[in-house]
Amino acid sequence: MSKEVLAIGLALFVHVIGLVALLWLLVLDPEDRPDWRDWWPGDDDDRPLDPSPEPRGGEVPLADAVASAVRLRERTRLSDGYARPARRPAHAPEHTPERVPETAPER
């Protein structure tokens, strides 16, 4: 038996075991099903949530908050909320190189 056939058979076996376990859990009565939440202590739904600390003293809205330029609830394009970028000049400035007279090398 080749290694490839053994690898495919092992993968198929694992999937069949998982399918059997899934079907077994679906067929069981709700009273007979295991309680999965007991596996992780401290993760109960009836526990009150810890209050999170308020940012920067709790002032709402924050002092440095700025309204958005774009309202995403309206049916407009996103680009309408932003200013268009500045255009470049119509003609590029004329480049005049500074010329220095060349001197003859001394011998």
Return the residue matching tokens 């999965």. 36
DSSP 9: H
Task: Give me the DSSP letters along 45-79.
Answer: TTSPPPPPPPGGGG-SS-TT----S--TTSSS-GG
* Tens-digit pLDDT profile for residues 41-91: 665 556 555 566 555 556 677 777 787 767 777 777 777 777 888 887 777
pTM equals 0.31
How would you label 51-70 residue by residue, b for 16+ Cβ within 10 Å and e otherwise? eeeeeeeeeeeeeeeeeeee
Spell out the domain ranges in the chain. 1-29
